[in-house]
Amino acid sequence: MTERNGRTANVDDRHFTDTAALDLSKITPPREQDEFAHLRGTAAEEELTFNKEERKFIRRRSLSLLWRASEGVRGKLLLTASAVVVSQAAQAATPFIAGGLAIDWGLPRLIDGDITGLWIPAMLYLLCAVTAGVLLYWYTRMTAEASQAMLYKLRDEVFRKTQALSLDFHEDYTSGKVISRQTSDLEALRELLDGGVNQLVQGIMFMMFTTVYIWISDFRSGLVLLAAVIPIIFLGRWYQKNAEIAYRRTRISSARMIVHFVESMTGIRAVQAFRREHARSRQYRKLAKIYRDDMVKSIGLFGILQPSLMLVGNLSVAAVLLWGGFRVLEGDLGAGLLAGIVLSTKRVFQPLDMIAMFYNSLQSATAALEKVSGLLEETPKVRQVKSPQRLEDCRGEIEFRDAEFKYSEDGPVVMQKLDLHIPAGQTVAVVGRTGAGKSTLVKLLARFYDVTAGSLTLDGVELRKLSEQDHHRHVAMVTQEAFLFSGSIRENIALSRPEATDEEIYDAAKAVGAHEFIMSLPEGYDTDVNKRGGRISAGQRQLVSFARAFLADPAVLILDEATSSLDLPSEQLVQQGLERLLGNRTALIIAHRLSTVAIADRVLVIDEGQVVEDGSPAELIAQGGYFAKLHSAWSATMQA
Amino acid sequence: MQQSEQKPGAGSQSQPESPIGAQQRAAQQRVESGERRTLAQAFGRLVPYLQGLKLRWLLGVFAAIGAGVIALSIPVVLGRLVDDIEAIDAVGAVVWTAFAVVLCLGVLEAVFVFLRRFFVIPPASDAEMNMRVSLFDRLVHQTASFHGAWEAGQLQSRAIADLNMLRRFFAFGSLMLLTSCITVTVGIAVMFTWSPLLAGLFLCAAVPVIVLGPAFRRKFIHYSRSAQDQAGEVATKVEESVHGIRVLKAFGRGDWARSSFKEEAATLRDLEVSKMRTLAKFQMLMVLLPESVLAACIFTGLYLAAQGDMTAGALAGFFSMAVVLKQPIEGIGMLIGMVFMAKTSIDRHIDVMDIEPEIASPTEPRTTQERGLVELDNVHFRYPDAAEDLIRGATLRIEPGETMALVSATGGGTSTLLNLVPRLYDVTGGSVRIDGVDVREYSLPDLRSRVAVAFEDPTLFSTTVKSNVLLGTGHHRDEDDPAHPYREKSPRPDQLEQVLAEALHTADAEFAANLPEGLDTRIGEEGLSLSGGQRQRLALSRAIAAKPSVLLLDDPLSALDVRTEERVTDRLRRVLQGTTTLIVAHRPSTVAMADRVALLHEGRIADVGTHTELLTRSETYAKIMKPPAPGGQELMDTVAAAGSEPGTEQDAIAAEEPEEVRS
């Protein structure tokens, strides 16, 4: 037990230090002073147009995320950048060495019999070539390493964030969205970091050095270049404005398509049983078509930009040729140098393509980054306080005092003011109509949510102030959906206590009556449960999740309709296990079955977010209220 | 018996004997076939998708080549200019001519570049879309066991990332590769006219690239493929962590999920880095070789020019040409990489497309008058990776219009048995017959329109409530939807509203009308999320609305509270008159709906009879169905008694406990 404490404590501490750097939610100002409150988090994800201020805000958020993600690899990136600078300087120099140096300077000298006219240009050229080549190799490698390190960090952070966010967030923000944040959005970012950044620095450096060489060789040609910059700026602005909207649109249509795809594949049985294959295909074709159109539109923008840039470049080449040609005629300029300058002028604009393409991946990456940074900005409603209270040993006494709960500030009150004391060791069954608020009660206790008013205490410690680690240790919950993770049954049981020995795992399984069916599986405890519980029936899944809870050995046990999908023998088995499991523990059970109520010391009837009846089963039956009626209905079922 | 096992299209033939997991097998098959396929074979497989692409692609090629050739003409013009301008009698006309030529060519080049994209991008995007849709069409007809073995994340990365890659290849990579090759060839030819020696030297740079190319190729393919697969693994981890978030939260195991995710993400990172390293090496080669050779060319060229064997203009032209050729030569390396990445993507696409659905309509389907007679005849079933049969010769006859409850202990195979009727899985032995015809002899649409299922785990789709409930009807279908054959019983379009209302009423799902936008409220991924009980009721009304002659209900009321269950049971009993119903039941209240009960025990139908008959006759049934010996009943008695004497109920319960443990 103590060993376990030590371990989780470490994990928890790390939890709150190592990734805090990327956590944008930590720097969010309080809502009331926040003019961008409507853009915070994932709120504005589907918006297409923003005003200037809003755009600026979102961009700043994205950049700050990138900056934070680059921590640790900044030195490497800097080094990489300098390698790019040197490599590009070397590459940009080659036409001048071949043109100006070799033909105008070397050739006359060589004809005069001066052998240096041969050696110097050749050797200089070789030096440039080797420098450029070796550094290219080096910085490609380094960029990949740095960008992959950043991506890894981002992936991890998005993952951590989704896990940290409270369930109310997950109820609105569907799993498909989280998955596309993690996959296609980060993929867009990978493309940017992998190739884009390289291309940008590479291109800019190349252009810069070429321009510098041209200016040094002949400043008049440099002036022509300067004039060409003006239309380029206009083109760039036009493209930027349109591309941004186009890319965002593409992202949205791709997300829609993905959701449809994933849903059809995971729900394949329903699709086939209801013969929806063709209708689903048709719908998919529709979505794929929308995506295709959006994409062609956004690529089309680039299709206009690229030739336009080329046209500007080629016109400059012609102008440089004309002006330079006459000066060669007049003897002011070497013919070889002119050739070098013309070529360089042609080449100086080539990287603009690359840069525009960078802008392409920048666009998609920006759109992706906006969403990712939005997600990272979300604050979990349930958070651990700065200096949490510890609770070493727990008896399991629960008290709600004036506790109230609503999902949002202006939303309806889901749980009315509640005063409820559950002494340690008591087994409480909660009954009530669907949607009456039974789950709310236990979810508050499990800290899926926090009470919005009043207090909820465990052994006198305010739940909000209790350290997460102690809370997890003392309160365990078996949910309705008994989700199994891919991996073996053993791993799935050990989920609640990873350091448990095999013996402990078997004991837990035996206690809840899961051992027999597990042993009948092909590989016993090592059987892979496959995709989302695959071959294992709902009842068996429940048994596994019971074993999980048993192994956790908590002071407070919460069962949420956990027996709903069991047949009677299994339920009976679990029932026995449950009684052993309950022991001295406090238990709160959402019951749909009389057999569950049977072992309760106390029953709470919940209706419209209020406790309407509270007492021992016998008392309530005597009162003749809802529970009494329910009870007789149950009796009827049993006799049937 | 034996005969029916050999029926065409029966899954039995393709059922593997070895116990290795279906997933493993799929992965194995995937790798093997991908490695075996040559480049030409892989690209050959794409021909059907490229039908509409051909002409425009060719036009695009012409445009691209045009632009490439124009780029080459500039060095020629420059070489001329240098020679002409250095001639003693040079006049302004020389410069003007050169200017005019360069200007025209420059404008033409830009036009060609525009045309290239204009021609190629729309058809390439169409091809991408068509491949995507064909993939979807294929997958949507794959069996449930196929989808059990292939994770949705893996499939999705094939549908998105791989096909994006292919579009880029067809719209850009293939054209540029072709153009680059032509440009380089023509450029080198021009160089030969200036100086065969220099051109020969320049050509030398190409040889090592050709020699080293294949080694690079293999390595790059390897990493690129593994990285793509690994990206799928990461996606799967994400998916799992999101779907299982409630469990992770309940046990505070976010860190555990995170660390296993991190492991996968780290592998992905390492693979990506290795991939880029391979690429970096190749790129270095592509820069180093030609440039070093050019240095040698400077040396030789200057010597030749000094000897008078070559003009200064030709030398300037040569170097200009070398500069112009640099980009396509460097590009070839990248483009070759792209070819292999495209091949990887094609392989991954084909590997999935090539898997024939194990369950399909027979070539000559039979059909018969719809009555609703369901017969199981010595049915055997074994999951692909299981060691033994789960169903071991189940035989059962359900008369038309009868409601039969199917009862077994947990994991007894009841849900599996239901799946065999609409052929979501195929029997591995014996046969299932509807109205006297083996289900494998019907066409699938015919069979599945007779049968409707409400699954244990209600899958709803991201669409309106209405569309979800009317899933099995003609609602939102094409007129000629081949999956929706004409049936007398299917509701006509004008009856849909009424059917919808009835179905919702029967399943007590009228809550849907009170949703924000009523029955048009979107639910699921992009809409409102519903509770388990609500979803279950919608799934039930969905099955009813299809108006099948055989209705299969898999514990359809498990998530409902007692009162709702009672209400729904009552209504169902009325509505189901005339519909053959097989209902998996886990408790007496559900069984109460049925005329007869079948007990599935150890893979066989052990007994059939009414609930009461079975209770007295079958010990197994009694064990499954009867309330735990003292359990609820005795408690109720005690409680009732204790109610009159407040204060003693605790003792009563305490006295109860040992007995429960004993039972």
DSSP per-residue string spanning B490-550: SPPGGGHHHHHHHHHHHTT-GGGGGSTTGGG-BBSTTSB---HHHHHHHHHHHHHHT--SE
Averaged over A181-187, what is the pLDDT?
Answer: 83
Taking the CA of residue A83 and the nearest CA in chain B, the distance in Å comes to: 14
Compute the nearest-CA separation of B110 from chain A (Å). 5
Whole-angstrom Cα distance, residue B462 to residue A261?
Answer: 11
CB contact under 8 A, A638 and B453: no
The predicted model gives A144-161 an average pLDDT of: 89
Q: Which residue of A106, A347, A617 is in closest CB contact with B323?
A: A347
How much is the mean pLDDT over chain A? 80
Mean per-residue pLDDT, B533-547: 90
Q: List the end-to-end C-alpha distance of chain B, in Å, as a whole number.
A: 43
Q: Identify the residue among A15, A22, A80, A163 best suited for mutation to test binding to B, counting B beta carbons within 10 A and taking the highest.
A: A163
Count Cβ atoms within 10 A of the Cβ of residue A148 and give its class: 0-12 exposed, 13-18 middle, 19 or more buried.
buried
Q: Are B27 and B380 within 8 A, CB to CB?
A: no
Mean local confidence (pLDDT), B180-195: 89
Q: Are the beta carbons of A284 and B133 closer than 8 angstroms?
A: yes
Mean pLDDT over B157-166 rounds to 87
Tokens of B71: 């780029």
Nearest to B386 by CA among B21, B11, B10, B1: B21
| Nearest-by-Cβ selection for A272 from B90, B386, B424 | B424
Residues of chain A neighbouring B636 (CB-CB closer than 8 A) = 594, 631, 634-635
| pLDDT given at position B501 | 93
Question: Are the beta carbons of A274 and B445 separated by less than 8 Å?
Answer: no
Tell me which residue of B365, B353, B375 sits closest to B432, measured CA to CA. B375
pLDDT at A550: 84
Instruction: Check CB contact under 8 Å for A635 and B633.
Output: yes
Asked if B386 and B580 touch (Cβ cutoff 8 Å), the reply is: no
Residues of A in Cβ contact (< 8 Å) with B241: 159, 162-163
Edge-to-edge strand order for the sheet containing A461-462?
A413-422, A398-406, A453-458, A461-462
* A chain contacts of residue B249, beta-carbon cutoff 8 Å: 163, 167, 446, 448
Pairing between strand B374-381 and B391-398?
Answer: antiparallel
Do residues A418 and A399 make contact, with C-beta atoms less than 8 angstroms apart? no
Task: Find the range with the poorest average confidence among A567-581, B141-155, B307-321, B327-341.
Answer: A567-581
Same topology between domain A52-377 and domain A398-639: no
User: Are B285 and B332 a contacting pair, CB within 8 Å?
Assistant: no
Q: Which two tokens stand for residue A214?
A: 């041209």
Regarding predicted confidence, which is higher, A133 or A563? Answer: A133
What are B355's two structure tokens?
């898997």
Mean pLDDT score, A316-328: 89
Tell me what percent of the residues of chain A surpass a pLDDT of 70: 84
B407-439: pLDDT as tens digits: 988 778 898 999 999 999 999 999 999 999 999
Judge: A268–B142 Cβ closer than 8 Å, yes or no. Answer: yes
When pLDDT is averaged across residues A234-256 and rounded to a whole number, the result is 86
Give residue A210's pLDDT. Answer: 86
CB-closest option in A98, A132, A618 to B649: A618
Q: A252 or A448: which carries more pLDDT confidence?
A: A252
- CA B599 – CA B602 distance, rounded (Å): 10
Q: Give whole-number Cα distances, B429 to A527, B12, B385, B426, in Å.
A: 25, 7, 16, 9
Q: Is B391 on the interface with A (CB under 8 A)?
A: no
> What span, in angstroms and rounded, lies between the C-alpha atoms of B185 and B328?
11
Sign, CA dihedral A428-A433-A436-A439, equals positive
Residue B94: its chain A contacts at CB < 8 A?
Answer: 325, 329
Which H or E element spans position A557?
strand A556-560
Pick among A276, A337, A573 to test the B interface (most B CBs inside 10 A): A276
B161 in contact with A at a CB cutoff of 8 Å?
Answer: yes
Interchain CB contact of A322 with B (< 8 Å)? yes
CA distance linking residue B596 with residue B406, whole number of Å: 9
pLDDT classification of A544: cutoffs 50, 70, 90: confident
Residues A539, B410: C-beta atoms closer than 8 Å: yes
Of A57, A52, A55, which is closest to residue A34 (Cα–Cα)?
A57
Q: Is the pLDDT of residue A248 over 90?
A: no
Structure tokens at B273: 């880095």
- pLDDT value of position B9: 34
**What is the 3 state secondary structure string of A163-189?**
HHCCHHHHHHCCHHHHHHHHHHHHHHH
| Residues B47-94: tens digit of each pLDDT | 888 877 788 888 999 999 998 888 888 788 878 887 887 777 777 888
Residues 6+ apart with CB under 8 A from A291: A250, A253, A254, A256, A257, B129
Mean pLDDT of A150-155: 90
Q: Is the pLDDT of residue B375 over 90?
A: yes
Assigned CATH class of A398-639: alpha beta
B586 touches chain A (CB under 8 A): yes
B242/A162 Cβ within 8 A = yes
Residues of A in contact with B137 (CB under 8 A): 277, 281
Cβ contacts from A onto B, under 8 A: 602
**Which residues are CB-neighbours of B129 under 8 A, at least 6 positions away?**
A285, A288, A289, A291, A292
Which residue among B317, B476, B643 sits closest to A621, beta carbon to beta carbon?
A: B643
Q: Which residue has the higher pLDDT, B33 or A346?
A: A346
Q: Which residues in chain B have Cβ-Cβ distances shorter than 8 Å to A277?
A: 137, 140-141, 483
Contact A565 B94 (CB under 8 A): no
Tallying the residues shown for chain B, one arrives at 663
Q: What is the mean predicted confidence (pLDDT) over A394-418?
A: 83
Chain A closest-CA separation from residue B401 CA (Å): 20
Q: What does the pLDDT average to over B13-30?
A: 41
Going by DSSP bridges, is the β-strand pair A586-590/A427-432 parallel, antiparallel, or unpaired? parallel
pLDDT value of residue A52: 75
Q: Which domains are assigned to chain B?
A: 34-353 (1.20.1560.10), 374-610 (3.40.50.300), 631-662 (no CATH)
Q: State how far the Cα of A391 lies from the Cα of A397, in Å rounded to an integer.
A: 12
Q: For residue A250, is pLDDT > 80?
A: yes
Least confident of A469-483, B5-19, B305-319, B490-504: B5-19
- Cβ–Cβ below 8 Å for B461 and A123: no
Does A299 touch chain B if contact means CB atoms closer than 8 Å? yes
At residue A68 the predicted structure's pLDDT band, cuts being 50, 70 and 90, is confident
Query: Letter for the amino acid at B178?
Result: L
- CA distances to A201, A473, B458, B543 from B507, rounded to whole Å, are 64, 41, 13, 10
**Interacting residues of B557 by C-beta distance below 8 A, sequence separation 6+:** B536, B540, B564, B565, B568, B569, B589, B590
Q: Nearest-CA distance from B260 to chain A in Å? A: 11
Residue type, A194: D
Helix (H) / strand (E) containing B653: helix B649-662
> If DSSP codes are grouped into helix, strand and coil, which group holds residue A213?
helix
Predicted confidence at residue A33, as pLDDT, reads 54
Domain spans of chain A, in order of start: 52-377, 398-639
Q: Is the pLDDT of residue B7 over 70?
A: no
Helix, strand or coil, per DSSP, at residue B148: helix
- pLDDT value, residue A569: 64
Would you place residue B633 in the very low, low, confident or very high pLDDT band (cuts 50, 70, 90)? very low
- In eight-state DSSP terms, residue A193 is I
Does A163 lie at the interface with B, CB-CB under 8 angstroms? yes
Q: How far does the CA of residue A407 sit from the closest CA of chain B (Å)?
A: 14
Which of A184, A275, A478, A563 to probe by mutation at the B interface, max B CB count within 10 Å?
A: A275
pLDDT at B660 over 80: no
Structure-token pair, residue A192: 């940017």
Q: Picking from A164-178, B270-284, B399-413, B545-559, which range would have the lowest pLDDT averaged per residue?
A: A164-178
Instruction: Indicate which of A158, A167, A274 best probes the interface with B, i.e. most B CBs within 10 Å of its own CB.
Output: A274
**B570 shares contact with chain A (CB less than 8 Å):** no
Calculate mean pLDDT across residues A268-285: 90
Token pair of B160, please?
Answer: 């998105």
Is the Cβ pair B292, A129 closer than 8 Å?
yes
Residue A559: name the closest of A476, A496, A483, A627 by CA: A476
Residue B2 makes CB contacts below 8 A (sequence gap 6+) with none
The model's pLDDT over B463-477, given as tens digits with 9 standing for 90+, comes to 899 999 999 888 888
Q: How many residues does chain A have?
A: 640
* Res. A285: pLDDT tops 90: yes
Question: pLDDT confidence of A1, banded at 50, 70, 90?
Answer: very low
Is residue A8's pLDDT more than 50?
Answer: no
- Is the ipTM of this structure higher than 0.85? no
**Is the per-residue pLDDT at A383 higher than 60?**
yes
Name the H helices within B6-53.
22-36, 39-44
Mean pLDDT calculated for residue range B388-398? 92
A610-615 and B374-381 beta bridge pairing: unpaired
Which chain B residue's Cα is nearest to A616? B649
Give the Cα separation of B350 and B341 in Å (integer). 14
Sign, CA dihedral B324-B326-B332-B338, equals negative
pLDDT given at position A17: 34
For the record, the structure tokens of A397 come out as 């006494």
Residues A509-535, mean pLDDT to the nearest whole number: 76
Q: Give one DSSP letter per residue of B586-606, joined into a string.
A: SSHHHHTT-SEEEEEETTEEE
Least confident piece of the model among A427-441, B14-28, B121-135, B604-618: B14-28
A52-377 CATH, one of 3.30.70.980, 3.40.50.300, 1.20.1560.10, 1.10.287.3510: 1.20.1560.10
Identify the closest residue of chain B to A176 by CA–CA distance: B525
Angle between the N-to-C axes of helices A219-266 and A335-348, in degrees from 0 to 180, rounded to the nearest 10: 30
Residue numbers of A between 361 and 420 with CB closer than 8 Å to B? none
Q: What is the pLDDT of residue B548?
A: 92
Highest mean pLDDT, choosing among A18-22, A89-93, B41-45, B436-440: B436-440
- Distance CA(B459)–CA(B530), nearest Å, equals 12
pLDDT of residue B658: 33
Residue B184 identity (one-letter amino acid): V
Cα distances from B141 to residues B25, B232, B360, in angstroms, run 20, 22, 8
pLDDT at B21: 41
For residue A522, what are the β-bridge partners? none
Query: Is residue B385 classed as helix, strand or coil in its secondary structure?
Result: coil
The better pLDDT of the pair A286, A479 is held by A286
How many Cα neighbours within 13 Å face the side chain of A434? 20
Q: Min CA distance, B5 vs chain A (Å)?
A: 23
Three-class SS of residue A587? strand
| Residue A401 distance to chain B (closest CA, Å) | 23
Per-state percent for chain B, helix, strand, coil, to nearest 5: 65, 10, 25
